[in-house]
Amino acid sequence: MTFRSLFVRIFVLSLNLAAIASSQELNYLVYDRDQIPNSVYRSRRDNIVEELGKDAVAIFYSAPERTRNADTDYRYRQDDNFYYLTGFNEPNAILLLSGRGMAVADLRDSTRIDTVKEILFVQSRNPRFEQWTGRRFGPEGAMKLLGVQHALGIEKFKSMFPGVVPIAAMKFLYVANLAKETTGRISELLQPVRSSIDELKTNGSQIEVKDPSSIIKKYRVIKSPEEIALISRAAHISALAHRQAMMSCKPGMAEYELQAVYEYTFSKLGSEYPAYPCIVGSAENSVILHYDTNRRTIADGDIVLADCAAEYHNYASDVTRTFPANGKFSVPQRKVYQIVLDAQNSAIGMMKPGVAWADVTAKADSVLENGLYTLGIIKEKNKREFRRFYPHGLGHAVGLDVHDVGSAVMMPGIIYTIEPGIYIPDNIQGIDPQYFNLGIRIEDDILITSDGHKILSEEVPREIEQIEALMKQKGIGTLPVE
């Protein structure tokens, strides 16, 4: 049978309910009570279906499982766009959306045919596997607990995919880039999609294959109240972790001990993951932007740059603080720190709806450049000189990605980081050695509101005197464990 005839025929989908556990058994799969409601995810899918129109089908798939080494996998993290549409954290799942609709068998009466616009294919329940890797939702759980219109076992996707895409009326097939690095079982499950795309190209079909990411990202720019609540929770957890790290830091500690304070606090307060590998860089490591080895012993007089933040229910925060290991800023540390803080304050002060991100960036750049010039670290004001000590941008949007979808103009509901920094290594001639190996970065998460902004991570101090006062207290990292 040809690919075209497969797509034209009406294919009725069925579901074997005999192997699926009762609805009562599924309740234990949802432990957290502050998850985004199913109605929000349904509304998101409805928006995408409306965007697609009746002449398109879209395919979204879960992130692959990835091997760390031998038979050990990395801890699983869902694909952002897939999660945005489903709220589903299991691997090996595929979502089909169709504006025209797809014919399926009614679950209560198999002789009745329904038309649905969404089908979620998920791993079926299997007690033997679940004993090893955890309980699964299964198709019934996906419908009951996620509110998906129709769900089937993922094993049915290969045979049913040709029948659910009405090629006779289709102009667009939306599918995210099927990258070669998409490995594991999800890669095998997507093989029918690859074959379909190859056949469309071979046959010179007029159907256009497009990536749906740009459609979804358009909706992801403005955060919903539910998303703002989760990001705020992540930022709150991060702020409390930074407070504990400041109170715990003492000369003679290893960088990884402070990392442990952060990650303990994250888990203690309900964060499932760090939003990114924790950066704890002291002295010469403070000038490495994405340093994450965290093995050096912190010495008296060192500066410590800690860029560590929590993720909560798949939503990231991004918070950085820089503080003196012994609890007291030296004169050079104080001077450079104040420049960075002034730059951050000047940028945050501009943040409100309608302001261009480029203007906020230019303001912070100006403060940093003038400060470096005043200290004699740069001899003339030009971008080339200035960027030697500030090689990154002012910030970025935060959401499901730690570097999320943003906008050139600020709008209510966008959350940005503001993270100016100055980094002075010990290998640049003409610099006063008192500034060598001095890296300062201060970063906060800022929500744009209808009339201005709100600092979501404000619970951790930024002012020099406040940091020094906090560091006189004892944190959880000072307690012995041996």
Distance of alpha carbon 119 from alpha carbon 438, whole angstroms: 54
227 is catalytic: no
Structure tokens at 346: 């000047």
Q: Among the options 79, 90, 404, 419, which is catalytic?
A: 419
What string of DSSP letters covers 155-217? GGHHHHHHHHS-GGG-SEEEE----TT--SHHHHHTHHHHHHHHHHHHTT-SPEEE-THHHHH
Residues 6+ apart with CB under 8 A from 22: none
**Phi and psi at residue 237, in whole multiples of 5°?**
-60, -45
45 is catalytic: no
313 is catalytic: no
Q: Among the options 243, 441, 453, 462, which is catalytic?
A: 441
Structure tokens at 299: 């010495």
Q: Among the options 66, 296, 388, 403, which is catalytic?
A: 403
Burial of 190 (0-12, 13-18, 19+ CB in 10 A): buried
Q: Are 369 and 342 in contact (CB under 8 A)?
A: no
Q: Among the options 233, 396, 453, 462, which is catalytic?
A: 396
> Pairing mode, if any, of strands 208-210 and 172-175?
parallel
Structure tokens at 247: 């109170």
459 is catalytic: no
Structure tokens at 373: 């010039």
Distance of alpha carbon 142 from alpha carbon 120, whole angstroms: 8
Structure tokens at 276: 């990114």
Q: Among the options 423, 435, 445, 462, which is catalytic?
A: 423
Burial of 57 (0-12, 13-18, 19+ CB in 10 A): buried
Distance of alpha carbon 452 from alpha carbon 354, whole angstroms: 10
Q: Are 322 and 440 in contact (CB under 8 A)?
A: yes
Structure tokens at 248: 């715990």
Q: Among the options 112, 290, 295, 387, which is catalytic?
A: 290
DSSP symbol at 276: S
* Exposure on the CB side of residue 321, measured as CA atoms within 13 A: 30
441 is catalytic: yes
71 is catalytic: yes
Q: Among the options 318, 365, 444, 445, which is catalytic?
A: 318
- Residue matched to tokens 């990605």: 401
What are the angstrom distances between the C-alpha of 390 and each of 76, 328, 366? 34, 24, 12
Q: Among the options 226, 292, 392, 459, which is catalytic?
A: 392
443 is catalytic: yes
DSSP symbol at 473: S
Q: Are 340 and 420 in contact (CB under 8 A)?
A: yes
Sign of CA dihedral 209, 213, 216, 219: negative
392 is catalytic: yes
150 is catalytic: no
Q: Are 339 and 368 in contact (CB under 8 A)?
A: yes
Q: Which amino acids are annotated catalytic?
A: 71, 290, 307, 318, 392, 396, 403, 419, 423, 441, 443
